């Protein structure tokens, strides 16, 4: 439902959000962590800088970071920077004439899906991509059974049927 550029942008933001607030991450490091081609990622990141979600600096000591304003922005702003705004008018069956009095069989159901997605994107902020640090720890996912910024995962203990299981 989202184009590849949008998916890359969200993946890069998610990878960047794994770093502590105020961190600046190089394009190459971010590309590796997000699994996005570095040259393509540069264009995406500068678009996010232009709309105020990121700050960016070129050269030695440069990199990208999420701005305070960017933390509060809805994902709809990020998606809107890369997606064609007329998604609602596109037919899921790719028919040229779908809308008004002449709709395909799936038109009204598809509209509900798009509306739900739009509501999700409008109600989810960039800061929601951050994994809260456990008490007494700085950072995000490490040690919580989730993938760390480097892509590794650590063991965790979960409750299963009343007993503790180490995963």
Q: What is the pLDDT of residues 30-77, one digit of tens each?
A: 999 999 999 999 999 999 999 999 999 998 889 999 999 999 999 999
Strands (E), the chain: 54-57, 63-66, 157-160, 163-166
Residue 18 has, within 13 A of its CA and on its CB side, a CA count of 22
CATH, domain range 4-130? 1.10.10.10
Distance (Å) of CA 44 to CA 30, 48, 69, 147: 12, 6, 18, 23
* Residues 6 or more apart whose Cβ sits within 8 Å of residue 129: 13, 14, 17
- Higher-pLDDT residue of 163, 119: 119
Local confidence band at 90 (pLDDT 50, 70, 90 cut-offs): confident
Query: Would you state the structure tokens that stand for residue 151, as one six-digit string?
Result: 């892509």
- As annotated, the residues of the chain forming the CATH 1.10.10.10 domain(s) are 4-130
Mean pLDDT, rounded, for 96-102: 77
Highest mean pLDDT among 72-86, 96-110, 116-130: 116-130
Q: Which of 109, 132, 108 is nearest to 17 (CA)?
A: 132
pTM of the predicted model, to two decimals?
0.73
Token pair for 42: 């540069």
Contacts of 43 (CB under 8 A, 6+ apart): none
Q: How confident is the model at residue 91 (pLDDT cuts 50, 70, 90)?
A: confident
Cβ neighbours of 83 (radius 10 Å): 17
Q: What pLDDT score does 13 carry? A: 96
Q: Taking 60 as the threshold, does the pLDDT of residue 148 lie above it? A: no
């Amino acid at each position: 439902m989202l184009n590849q550029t949008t998916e890359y942008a969200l993946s890069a933001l998610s990878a960047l959000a794994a770093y502590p607030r105020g961190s600046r991450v190089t394009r190459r490091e971010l590309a590796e962590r997000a699994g996005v081609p570095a040259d393509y990622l540069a264009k995406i990141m500068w678009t996010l800088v232009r709309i105020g979600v990121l700050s960016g600096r070129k050269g030695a000591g440069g990199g990208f970071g999420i701005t305070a304003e960017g933390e509060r922005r809805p994902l709809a702003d990020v998606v809107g920077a890369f997606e064609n705004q007329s998604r609602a008018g596109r037919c899921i069956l790719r028919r040229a004439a779908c809308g008004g009095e002449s709709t395909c069989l799936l038109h009204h159901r598809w509209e509900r899906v798009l509306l739900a997605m739009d509501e999700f994107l409008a109600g989810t902020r960039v800061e929601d991509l951050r994994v809260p640090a456990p008490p007494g720890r700085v950072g995000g996912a490490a040690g919580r059974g989730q993938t760390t910024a480097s892509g590794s995962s650590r063991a965790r203990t979960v409750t299963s049927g009343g007993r503790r299981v180490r995963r």
